[in-house]
Each structure stands twice: as structure tokens, then as C-alpha cells.
DNA sequence: CGCCCCTGTTTTTTT
DNA sequence: AACAGGGGCG
């Protein structure tokens, strides 16, 4: 496959033609084409193969972003395209921002104001606003966030008299999301799937949901793409216009595209057929939210004659790290196949350390960081990457105890916070009196005595008269259908909204926001709140009002908030970064800690249960992403005991550890200071079987016994010095026997710690056992005896 | 209408 | 274990 693609690439239009012309044209400009300097031959080919479809398979650390930005610079500098002829799509705002900045740096002001560089959703919005009426919307449509969607779904479910407990709105949301990801409008959903939800009502619910959106003049994120497809299919002239307009199309992170995005791109690319997709099938980690690795695997089929360029020269990691990552990812089937290589030194081996429990693991990580810090390793160049957010807690606790400065990347986002969503709801309801969802959110926030009963009345009236809630309120307060108290409260609220709406016309919008928050009693609500986070919320509200000043008007600000759900965070501070593996994609650090490599956690059991082998391969890609974040040092670890949902479970090392090439790995034993006193476990819970028979493990056990209790030696881990971690080269702690287990599902077994149980599943020498007392656990078969 | 207790849930995350 | 959301009660 690899050979084939390369052949196809060279069989295409000879790149030299464009290359010479490009260079000649660039040479006309003073200073030649400095932006091409320093590209390697493959990168250069990816940049200079301008015409026709191109797939750039860019492995981790091979200069993907550089290629993308240089390619745009090249298109503009050589006069092939003006900035507005180029469509460049990314997935995240961050990526879009970065690309803008780098293009600016490459070619100066000429590259500024690329109007069609943005996320799929931002560009989709831009297009839909221009043609809103063709898809049944007004151009000032609202973009709903997930919480609004959820509330809408709840209403729809209730309307259809379906038990929301049996068929939760979340599940419906998931189903509809899935359909939208696959580009399916309600009528296109396969009947079988539509019928699977709520006794055959899934399709009807989807239809009803879309109808509700339409009456609200609102769309959700999926619609931003789906409605473009509808627009183009029903209006070929409009499609043609865009096909013509976008002379060159570039797509970043192509492996993350879902079907809807793929269809979207394909329609547009059919014009000039100059589409360059950059991606890495080995870094596809978003399958669970609809990304189709197949899109990248099928590229050459979908775009016949496509040139394929592989970027395999890695400029990031040292040899052993790259070897470990490559060796691991090689276990995946269904990949296009790349071999990363580096000209860098072999460097340090990847280390693997076993800890007694997750608490000790956190301590090991923290102490390891402290000793690096002592050697002047900048903290900003250290990251701890975890599989799930829940792992962060223990690590944070440890950092706090030691006073290690750290920052969590990708936590709850600014615009997702309750106080911000409330403030936004006030602004939305002010800007758009028909925004029922916003009005509903704040009608009783702060508490003003307008509860469910009142809301029901409003709903009934609004539905009967087909008017928005706020208008329904205005009309009802003129009748005597409401209790006097409710009536006066509601009148005051309605009048406030009128007043605020008038203010928007004359007063700067951030001042109006300030006024709204004060007059509505919202600020006061938090001032009176005695809970610990109230002060922080007030701070957030201040920041929120302040951030509005950066936008020309209220509508502009609301659009920004709907599409750009992240607030820029201060970078470069002297802190350790803590984040999930997913959040780490695209980042790099000198030293990377990868804790929690245990079967069940990583690879994650749920991924395995839900997606089987595909799930396992995605987990493996995640591991690959994790390893390739490291420039100089990657430190894996696992714990033998971990608390899962509050219960202690015994765990076994990740199968991925076994899959690493032994030659690039060092097993490093934990410094000998197991916190025996703090553990609630017997030191020797089970006779160690073959898997724990390695010298390192045995020594760890011996040291534990000898070192006694307490924390006394916690700083004795001076690396390189005496008493520091000893290394046993090439030995793997979790070495599998490879031999199939002697046990079969259904067999009765006995475990010294967990007692009797029944084997539920077998995977090599790893057993899933339902213990009579202890519940379901995963254990190595050498830990149990026939029972 | 509002508060409190109980119950069920718990991957990864963007737009 | 921790949290969120719903139901029931005052």
C-alpha cells in the first residue's frame, strides 16, 4: 500500500513543473522565496504540489503546520491565489488562530484577512448567514450550545408523551448528534435506527426537534454543516458559486473529519479539485464523536489521481521515544503505514515504573518532577498526560502538597460556567426577544417567584398563540389570568427587557450588560451567596463584561461566544501542565509523564466494550499520541491498585506496555518508600506469578519489606546518584507469557485476595473474573488457582 | 415554591 | 467517593 501510494504520487503531474515556475515567480520578488528555506524535500513537495488533490500524511512532529502555512504562503506569493480564494479549514479555533498568526509571520500583511480560514463551523455559519432564507432561517439565527439543545430535547420528549426516565434527553441528543455527524437529515435516517429509540419514535423526535429549532430560528452545531449540505443540494447555483470561489482548499487534521464534514468538503472540492488534506491516521483519536478514519484511508479512492506525500522525518523526539511510539502503533491494522524516523540521537529510553497504588504513582510522578526541577528542567516543559480526568485529582493533590506549580489544560471552559451561561441568557433574551430558551433559563434566576406553574401558563399561551414566551408574558400580564403577585413580578421583568433592549441601541454594549446584571438582581444573587465559589463567579462575570469590549457590537459578541467556546489562557508560565491525552494533541514537551497505563483504564474498558477492536486501536493511537508528545523523556507508569468509582480494584499493567519494543524501554523500579502506613492493603496480597517475577519487581518487593514504613526517604531519589532508581534494561514488568490461559469462561477459580469467583472472559493470560464477594475484576491468570 | 434527601452515574471533547 | 438531578415534603 505504501509503495502504491508513492507510485501514484510520482505518476501525477510532475511536481517539478510547478516547482520551477514557482521558484521562478518567487524569484521575481525581492529576496526570493525565503519561506521555502529549510523545508525538507517531502515538505517541499507537499507545499509545491499545488494543483489537484493532495493527501499529506504527516506523522507526529514532522512539521505539519509548517507545511500547511507555507503552502498558503506559497499560493499567495506565487500569485496562484488571493487570500480570499483560499478555503482553509481547521477543527479548533486555536488551530485557526495559530495558522493565521504563522501565515502572517511568513508573508506579512499580504496574508492577513484570509476570510475563509476558520473552523468548519465558523465557515459554515458564515455561509448560512448569507443564504439563511433558502434553508428556512432568518440570517440572525441563534446557535445553540449543548445545554440549550438538551432542554429543547426534553421538551420534545415530553411533547411526545415519552417517559424521559426511560429515554433520557441525553441519549436522544447523542443519537441525533450521531445522525448529524453522518450527514443525515430526519428523512435520511435509516428506519431501523430511527426506530431503535423510544419504541420507534426516534425519527419522529428528530423531526420534532428540528421543527422546534426552526420555530426558534435556531440551529445546533451539527446544523451548521448539515444545512450547508441542504443548501447546496437544493440550490446548485449557490454551490457552483462557492465551488468557483474556492480555488484552493486546505484541510487540517483530516483524520478527524466526520462524514458530514467529508461530504461538505467533497461538494466544494469538486470545483477546482485543488484540495489538500493534511492528517495522520495514527493520530485519529476522535472516533467516539463521529470522526471517520476511513475518510483518510479512502482519500485516494475518492480523489482519483491524488498525490500522496508522506512526512516521516520527525523533528521532535529522540530515537528511543520515536522507536517506542512507532513500535506500538505498528500493532494497529488498518493504517496507511508510515515509518517515523529521526536524525536525532537515541537519547533516553522510555521508562516504565510500577507503583503499588495510584496514590504512590502520583507521588512518584511528583517527586520525579521535583528532581528534574532541581536539575533546572523548566516546569513549562513538563507535562503529565492522563487517560481520564478523574486521574487528575490525586496528582493535583500531590502537587498541591509539594507546592509544585501546575496548570490544568482543558478543564471546564469559561463559557460553559453556569454564571456565564446565565449572563449570556440575559443578553440573548435582550438581543432577541424570541429566544425562548434564553428567557426560560433566567425567568427565575435569580429567584423571583416565577416557577414551574407560571412557566407552564406562559408555555400554554405561547403555544396556542404561536408567539414567543416573552411576548406571551407581555400579553398575559394585561389579563387577569395570573395571580397578582406573579403578574406584577412578570410585568417588572418584561418592562426591564424593553428598557434593556432600548439601551442596546444607544449605550455601549458592555455597559448595557453591566446594567442588566445589576438591575436583574443577578450580581446581587451571587454577592449574597455565601458558598466558597461565589467570589470566583463574580470575578468571572467581571471578566465576561470586560471581554465584551473587544467586540464591536452585541451581535458580534454573541456569535463569538457561540462558536468560540474557549477563553484564551495565559501561556508560558513556569508550571507543569496537566491534561488528558486528548487535550495534548498538537502539543509537545521535553518531558512527558504518562501515568495510569493499566488495562481497563488505558486501554479504557469502555472503549473496548463499545467499539471492540476498533476501540482498542483508537486507544493505541492515543498511546502513540501520548508518547510522541515527548521530545526527550517519556515516563510511563502504572499502579497495581486503583480506586475506581470509589472502590479499590486491583489492576494489571496495560497491554500496551508489553507492546513497546524492549530495546527502547527501561524498567525503573519505584524508589523504595512505599507508603505502607497510608495504604490499606496487605503488602503481599497474592503470590506473585510469572508476570511479576522480573528482577525489578522482586527487588521492589524486597525493598519494600526492608525499608519499613513512613515517608522518610521521599527525597532520596536523586537520579543518577546512589540509591536512585536502578534500571533493568530491556526487562518488561508486564511481560505476557503469550501462552493462552489455562482457564476458560465459566471456570471456577480462587484468588488469594478476592476469594472464589467465576471466569467471565479470557484475553491471553488476562482473565476477567466475577468474584463472588469482590465483584468483577481483571487479574492475571497466574494469580488464581482452579477453584 | 423551595429545600433537602435520595438515587443513579461515572471516558475522552469541539464546535 | 463525589456529584448532579429528580422527587417528595414542608
Residue A675: inside a domain: no
The pLDDT value recorded for residue A53 is 95
Query: Does residue A143 reach within 7 angstroms of strand B, measured from its CB?
Result: no
Looking at A216, A244, A266, the residue that finishes a domain is A216
More confident of the two residues A700 and A535: A535
A85 close to A246: Cβ distance less than 8 angstroms: yes
Residue A719: inside a domain: no
| pLDDT average, residue stretch A35-49 | 90
Check whether residue A657 and residue A611 sit in a common domain: yes
Residue A533: inside a domain: yes
- Tell me whether residue A580 is exposed, middle or buried, using C-beta atoms within 10 angstroms of its C-beta: 0 to 12, 13 to 18, 19 or more: buried
Is A777 assigned a catalytic role?
A: no
Nearest-angstrom CA–CA distance, A437 and A161: 21
Looking at A544, A577, A592, the residue that finishes a domain is A544
Check whether residue A235 and residue A262 sit in a common domain: yes
Residues 284-313 of A with CB under 7 A from strand B: 288-289
CA–C1' span, A67 to C2, in Å? 46
Nearest-angstrom CA–CA distance, A224 and A128: 7
Over residues A140-161, the pLDDT tens digits come to: 899 988 888 888 888 888 888 7
pLDDT at A777 over 50: yes
Residue A672: inside a domain: no
Query: Does residue A530 reach within 7 angstroms of strand C, measured from its CB?
Result: no
Task: Consult the annotation and say whether A64 binds a ligand.
Answer: yes
Task: Consult the annotation and say whether A118 binds a ligand.
Answer: no
Looking at A216, A244, A261, the residue that finishes a domain is A216
The pLDDT value recorded for residue A105 is 84
Task: Consult the annotation and say whether A473 binds a ligand.
Answer: no
Over residues A29-41, the pLDDT tens digits come to: 544 577 888 899 9
Q: Which of A270, A312, A271, A279 lies closest to A298 in space, CA to CA?
A: A279
Nearest-angstrom CA–CA distance, A159 and A215: 15
Check whether residue A111 and residue A234 sit in a common domain: yes
pLDDT at A22 over 80: no
- Distances from the Cα of A31 to the Cαs of A16, A45, A74, A104, in angstroms? 21, 21, 14, 17
Catalytic residue among A18, A43, A45, A64: A64
Catalytic residue among A69, A70, A149, A283: A283
Check whether residue A237 and residue A264 sit in a common domain: yes
Check whether residue A538 and residue A446 sit in a common domain: yes
Tally of domains within chain A: 5
Query: Does residue A579 reach within 7 angstroms of strand B, measured from its CB?
Result: yes
Residue A177: inside a domain: yes
Give the pTM: 0.79
Residue A118: inside a domain: yes
Cell numbers for A208:
420534532
Query: Does residue A165 reach within 7 angstroms of strand C, measured from its CB?
Result: yes
Q: Which of A304, A271, A261, A241 lies closest to A54 in space, CA to CA?
A: A304
Query: Does residue A646 reach within 7 angstroms of strand C, measured from its CB?
Result: yes
The pLDDT value recorded for residue A710 is 28
Residue A518: inside a domain: yes
Q: DSSP assignment, residue A341? A: B
Where in the sequence is the domain holding A37, given as residue range(s)?
A: 33-129+230-311
Q: Which of A281, A286, A389, A330 lies closest to A615 in space, CA to CA?
A: A286
A26 close to A19: Cβ distance less than 8 angstroms: no
Residue A654: inside a domain: yes
Check whether residue A368 and residue A504 sit in a common domain: no
Check whether residue A392 and residue A448 sit in a common domain: no
Residues 197-236 of A with CB under 7 A from strand B: 221
CATH number of the domain to which A196 belongs:
1.10.10.160
The pLDDT value recorded for residue A573 is 76
Check whether residue A243 and residue A118 sit in a common domain: yes
The pLDDT value recorded for residue A672 is 59
**pLDDT interval class at A130 (50, 70, 90):** very high
Is A253 assigned a catalytic role?
A: yes
Check whether residue A409 and residue A421 sit in a common domain: no
State which H helix or E strand residue A644 sits in. Answer: strand A630-644
Protein-contacted positions of strand B (CB under 7 Å): 1-2, 10-15
User: Quick one: which residue's CA is nearest to B9's C1'?
Assistant: A645
CA–C1' span, A770 to B5, in Å? 33
User: Any idea which of A510-524, A563-577, A745-759, A771-785 has the lowest mean pLDDT?
Assistant: A771-785
Query: Does residue A530 reach within 7 angstroms of strand B, measured from its CB?
Result: no
CA–C1' span, A69 to B12, in Å? 29
Amino acid at each position: 500500500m505504501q509503495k502504491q501510494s508513492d507510485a501514484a504520487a510520482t505518476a501525477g503531474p510532475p511536481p517539478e513543473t510547478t516547482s520551477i515556475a514557482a521558484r521562478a515567480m518567487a524569484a521575481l520578488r525581492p529576496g526570493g522565496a525565503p519561506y521555502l528555506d529549510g523545508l525538507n524535500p517531502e515538505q517541499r513537495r507537499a507545499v509545491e504540489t499545488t494543483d489537484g488533490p493532495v493527501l499529506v500524511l504527516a506523522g507526529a512532529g514532522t512539521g505539519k503546520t509548517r507545511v500547511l502555512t507555507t503552502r498558503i504562503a506559497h499560493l499567495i506569493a506565487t500569485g496562484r491565489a488571493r487570500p480570499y480564494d483560499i478555503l482553509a479549514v481547521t477543527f479548533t479555533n486555536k488551530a485557526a488562530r495559530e495558522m493565521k498568526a504563522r501565515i502572517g509571520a511568513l508573508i506579512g500583511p499580504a496574508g492577513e484577512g484570509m476570510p475563509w480560514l476558520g473552523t468548519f463551523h465558523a465557515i459554515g455559519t458564515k455561509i448560512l448567514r448569507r443564504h439563511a432564507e433558502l434553508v428556512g432561517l432568518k440570517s440572525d439565527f441563534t446557535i445553540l450550545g449543548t445545554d440549550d439543545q438538551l432542554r429543547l430535547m426534553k421538551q420534545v420528549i415530553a411533547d411526545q408523551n415519552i417517559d424521559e426516565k426511560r429515554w433520557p434527553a441525553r441519549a436522544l441528543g447523542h443519537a441525533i448528534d450521531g445522525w448529524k455527524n453522518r450527514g443525515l437529515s430526519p428523512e435520511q435516517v435509516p428506519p431501523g435506527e430511527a426506530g431503535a429509540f423510544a419504541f420507534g419514535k426516534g425519527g419522529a423526535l428528530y423531526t420534532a426537534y428540528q421543527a422546534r429549532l426552526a420555530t426558534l430560528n435556531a440551529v445546533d452545531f451539527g446544523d451548521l454543516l448539515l444545512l450547508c449540505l441542504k443548501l447546496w443540494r437544493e440550490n446548485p447555483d449557490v454551490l457552483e458559486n462557492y465551488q468557483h470561489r474556492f480555488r484552493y482548499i486546505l484541510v487540517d487534521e483530516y483524520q478527524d473529519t466526520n462524514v458530514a464534514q467529508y461530504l461538505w468538503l467533497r461538494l466544494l472540492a469538486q470545483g477546482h479539485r485543488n484540495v489538500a488534506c493534511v492528517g495522520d491516521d495514527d493520530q485519529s483519536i476522535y472516533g467516539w464523536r463521529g470522526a471517520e478514519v476511513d475518510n483518510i484511508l479512502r482519500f485516494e479512492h475518492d480523489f482519483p489521481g491524488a498525490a500522496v506525500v508522506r512526512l516521516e522525518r520527525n523533528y521532535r523526539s529522540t530515537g528511543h521515544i520515536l522507536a517506542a511510539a512507532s513500535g506500538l502503533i505498528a500493532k494497529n491494522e488498518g493504517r496507511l503505514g508510515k515509518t517515523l524516523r529521526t536524525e536525532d540521537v537515541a537519547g533516553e529510553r522510555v521508562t516504565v515504573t510500577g507503583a503499588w497504588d495510584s496514590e504512590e504513582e502520583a507521588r512518584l510522578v511528583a517527586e520525579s518532577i521535583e528532581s528534574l526541577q532541581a536539575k533546572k528542567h523548566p516546569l513549562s516543559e513538563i507535562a503529565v498526560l492522563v487517560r481520564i480526568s478523574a486521574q487528575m485529582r490525586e496528582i493535583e493533590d500531590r502537587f498541591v502538597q509539594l507546592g509544585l506549580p501546575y496548570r490544568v489544560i482543558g478543564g471546564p471552559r469559561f463559557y460553559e460556567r453556569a454564571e456565564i451561561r446565565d449572563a449570556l441568557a440575559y443578553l440573548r433574551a435582550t438581543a432577541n426577544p424570541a429566544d425562548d430558551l434564553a428567557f426560560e433559563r433566567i425567568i427565575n434566576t435569580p429567584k423571583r417567584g416565577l416557577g414551574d406553574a407560571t412557566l407552564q401558563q406562559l408555555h400554554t399561551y405561547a403555544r396556542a398563540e404561536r408567539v414567543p414566551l416573552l411576548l406571551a408574558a407581555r400579553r398575559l400580564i394585561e389579563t387577569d389570568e395570573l395571580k397578582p403577585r406573579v403578574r406584577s413580578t412578570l410585568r417588572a421583568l418584561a418592562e426591564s427587557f424593553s428598557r434593556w433592549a432600548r439601551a442596546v441601541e444607544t449605550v455601549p454594549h458592555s455597559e448595557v450588560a453591566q446594567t442588566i446584571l445589576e438591575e436583574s438582581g443577578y450580581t446581587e444573587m451571587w454577592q449574597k451567596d455565601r458558598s466558597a465559589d461565589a467570589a470566583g463567579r463574580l470575578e468571572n462575570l467581571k471578566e465576561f463584561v470586560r471581554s465584551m469590549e473587544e467586540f464591536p457590537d452585541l451581535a458580534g459578541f454573541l456569535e463569538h461566544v457561540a462558536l468560540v467556546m474557549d477563553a484564551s489562557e495565559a501561556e508560558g508560565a513556569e508550571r507543569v501542565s496537566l491534561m488528558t491525552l486528548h487535550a495534548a494533541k498538537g502539543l509537545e514537551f521535553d518531558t512527558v509523564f504518562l501515568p495510569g497505563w493499566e488495562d481497563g483504564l488505558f486501554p479504557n474498558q469502555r472503549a473496548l466494550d463499545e467499539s471492540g477492536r476498533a476501540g482498542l486501536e483508537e486507544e493505541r493511537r492515543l498511546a502513540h499520541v501520548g508518547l510522541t508528545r515527548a521530545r526527550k523523556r517519556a515516563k510511563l507508569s502504572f499502579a497495581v491498585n486503583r480506586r475506581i468509582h470509589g472502590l479499590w480494584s486491583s489492576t494489571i499493567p496495560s497491554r500496551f506496555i508489553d507492546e513497546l519494543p524492549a530495546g527502547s524501554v527501561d524498567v525503573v523500579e519505584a524508589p523504595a518508600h512505599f507508603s505502607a502506613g497510608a495504604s490499606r492493603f496487605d503488602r503481599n496480597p497474592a503470590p506473585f506469578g510469572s508476570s511479576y517475577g522480573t528482577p525489578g519487581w522482586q527487588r521492589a518487593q524486597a525493598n519494600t519489606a526492608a525499608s519499613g514504613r513512613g515517608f522518610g526517604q521521599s527525597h532520596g531519589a536523586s537520579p543518577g546518584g546512589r540509591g536512585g532508581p536502578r534500571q533493568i534494561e530491556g526487562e518488561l514488568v508486564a511481560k505476557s507469557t503469550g501462552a493462552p490461559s489455562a482457564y476458560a469462561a465459566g471456570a471456577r477459580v480462587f484468588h488469594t485476595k478476592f476469594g472464589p469467583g467465576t471466569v467471565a472472559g479470557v484475553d491471553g493470560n488476562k482473565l476477567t473474573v466475577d468474584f463472588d464477594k469482590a465483584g468483577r475484576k481483571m487479574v492475571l491468570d497466574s494469580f488464581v488457582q482452579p477453584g
